[in-house]
Amino acid sequence: MLKDEEWINIGLAITVPTAKVEELAKLLTPYAHELGWALSSQDGEEDKSQISIAPQNGRISPEELKANLEKIAGISFGILKDIVHLGDRDKALAEHMQGFSITSAILPDTKKEVFFLGHTVGFLWFNYELSKRLALEKEDLEFSKSVFLGHTAQEETKSFFANKKPEESDTLVKEHLEKMYGFKLD
């Protein structure tokens, strides 16, 4: 069953000056332990590094996401409040943003194009293949909506395009999504 399969890529990601990685890693260790996830860092460009807290294999199941989303999002907010804003809840709330994204990729093995839906809540990000979410909706619509913030994939995608300024709207992507998945996005 799709509910129990690990197909949601997830993690918390924080970009810091490379010189601060060791110090910040020590501060983030309790958060990683609370989630039972691994802490890692990767050097980037221009003296910046990314520290990540993620499951060992980088993925969780929809069942696990549903059971732990509040805890994971709370830890993301806790990092923003406690570490970035030194306990100032109001400043943290002002910067605590949520986002939604649509990306596509060509699978190297099959050369098939797939679309991914992505969500961010503060430092928390998760994404997944759109086709997996649609299959979960077909299998158990109410469960899927309970995992993905009360909406279907089509509703979220339609809202994403509706909230874009006309000059930002990617007509080609929209048409491609409608054709591939039978969405009605207007």
- Looking at residue 169, its pLDDT comes to 64
Structural domain includes residue 135? yes
Structural domain includes residue 1? no
Residue-level pLDDT, tens digit, the chain, 186 residues: 789 999 999 999 988 888 888 998 999 999 999 999 999 988 877 788 999 999 999 999 999 999 998 999 888 888 888 777 677 778 777 777 788 899 988 888 888 889 999 998 888 999 999 999 999 999 999 999 999 888 999 999 999 888 877 666 678 888 888 999 889 887
- Looking at residue 133, its pLDDT comes to 96
- Looking at residue 121, its pLDDT comes to 85
Rounded to whole angstroms, the Cα distance separating 142 from 152 reads 9
157: Cβ contacts below 8 Å, ≥ 6 apart: 102, 117, 177, 183, 185
Spell 119-139 as b/e; 16+ CB within 10 A means b: bbbbbbbbbbbbebbbebbee
Structural domain includes residue 2? no
| β partners of residue 10 | 126
Structural domain includes residue 3? no
Phi and psi torsions of 46, nearest 5°: 55, 50
Residue span of the structural domain in which 175 resides: 8-181
Q: Residue 39's CB: how many other CB atoms inside 10 A?
A: 18
Structural domain includes residue 151? yes
For residue 26, what is the DSSP state? Answer: H
Domain count, the chain: 1
Structural domain includes residue 100? yes
pTM: 0.87
- Looking at residue 44, its pLDDT comes to 74
Structural domain includes residue 186? no
Structural domain includes residue 65? yes
